[in-house]
Structures are given as structure tokens and as C-alpha cells.
Structure 1
């Protein structure tokens, strides 16, 4: 299953990226994340691992698998029977900075998990987008 949400932010792309890619500070600006523990030091990089706690969801460890600094990062979390990929894109446009969050659930249990948590997933990525917009525009 795939879920996408985009929002246009009236702030420079580099400002939005700085906030979006600093995953350790997500609990400060979005209510969908209760705790983040970086498992390695420094800024986000390929192979970086982060433990994330969210309300109503199991604790997950995410590993960065793709990174285009200033534009995009993707990370993956695995559990028995499911692989979840989270994409985080920042794109400068004439209308403002477009932020897109993507969640893809794959594997034998991916479809089941996706169906069970579809409403919550849609709510979370929309709220994260609105929260990022608010903090970036402040």
C-alpha cells in the first residue's frame, strides 16, 4: 500500500529541509512523534539509524537508504512480514516549497497492516505536513 501527502510551504526550501531532515527534533514540532533516538551521531546520512516512537504504532527503527542532501531522504523499517518505506521530499517551486511525505508498506503483511492502519497513516502524514508548514513559516 502507498500513501502520499503534499503541502506547499511559504518558506525557503533550505529552511524547510533543515527542519525536515533534523529527525531528532521531530517531537518538538509534530504531535505524531513522541520520541526519537538517533542511533548514530551527526546529521542524517546513508545508513543512519533512528528509533521512532509514535502514538498507536509499534516502536520502529528506521535506516536511511537514499539521500539527496537538501532534497530527499528515504528510510526503511522492517518487521516480520512487512517492510515500510518512508519518503521525505522538499522541492522548490514558483508557488513555494512543496513537501511530500510518502509511506509504502510491502511484504506478506504489508497490505494487511496498510489496511488496518490506513486511516491513521493518512491522518499522521497530513498532520506532519501541516505541522512542518507551521514551524517552517514561523
Structure 2
């Protein structure tokens, strides 16, 4: 299964990147995240690991597999015969940025997972994009 959604955000790229990579604060502004915990220290970076709990899903540990400062990061988690890759790409545009969020699932049970949870996955990714837009455009970075 592959799913991507994009959103244009009318805020400076630096603000969007800061909010997007301050992952432990995501539960403050998106209902698709119950908790995120860094399994290490320092900011999000290549090789970093984060435990994520989402409503209706078991906790999973995600490891950052790609990281381009100020532009993009990807992380992946594996379990139950499925490997899930989450992508986060920021592209500057006049007046702000475009953000593309994606999920790609592979592995022997990926087709079954798509059938059982594909709708929820799509809703979660869309909600996360919309929540990021609201947070960044509000200027609220507490």
C-alpha cells in the first residue's frame, strides 16, 4: 500500500521544519498521536528512534532512515509481517511551503494490512497534514 497527501502551509519553512521535526510534541496538535517518546537524546536525526502510540494501534518503534536538514526525513517501523515507511518532505514555495506526507507498506502481510487498516491509515495521514498546517499557520509553537 502506498498513500501520499500534500498540503500547502502559509508559514516560513523554518517554522514548519521545526514543528514537523519536534515529534514528541505532535500529540499537542494532532489527534492521531497519543504519545511519542525519543529513545535516545538530542533532536531528531538519522538513526534516531522514536516510540509512537496511536489510537487503535499497538505502540511501534520507528527509526529515522533518511534525514536532510530543513527538507525531509523518513522513518520506518516493522512488525507483524509489515514494514511501514513514513515520509515527510518540505518544499519551499512563494508564501510558504508545500508538505508531502507519505506511507508505504511492504512485506508478506502488507496486502492484508491495506485491506484491514488502509482507510484508517489514509485518514490519519490526512489528519496529520491538516493538523500540521493549522499548528504552523497559527504560529503556536509552545
Q: SS of 1:45's equivalent?
A: coil
Offset at residue 95 of structure 1 (A): 5.5
2:95 and 2:115 map into 1 onto residues whose CA distance is: 34
2:133 and 2:40 map into 1 onto residues whose CA distance is: 27
Asked if the contact 2:76/2:84 (under 8 Å) is kept, the reply is: yes
2:95 and 2:14 map into 1 onto residues whose CA distance is: 15
Offset at residue 94 of structure 1 (A): 2.2
Asked if the contact 1:8/1:96 (under 8 Å) is kept, the reply is: yes
Q: SS of 2:77's equivalent?
A: strand
Offset at residue 91 of structure 1 (A): 0.9
Offset at residue 80 of structure 1 (A): 3.2
Q: Which residue of 1 aligns with 2:67?
A: 67
How many pairs were matched up?
A: 138
1:22 and 1:88 map into 2 onto residues whose CA distance is: 13
Q: Which residue of 1 aligns with 2:88?
A: 88
2:56 and 2:24 map into 1 onto residues whose CA distance is: 20
Query: Which aligned runs of 4 or more in structure 1 are off by greater than 6 angstroms?
Result: none
Normalised by the length of structure 2, the TM-score is 0.94
Normalised by the length of structure 1, the TM-score is 0.97
Gap regions ≥5 residues in structure 1 = none
Asked if the contact 1:76/1:84 (under 8 Å) is kept, the reply is: yes
Q: Which residue of 1 aligns with 2:137?
A: 137
Gap regions ≥5 residues in structure 2 = none
Asked if the contact 2:51/2:62 (under 8 Å) is kept, the reply is: yes
Question: 1:26-105 residue pairs with structure 2 within 5 A?
Answer: 26-94=26-94, 96-105=96-105
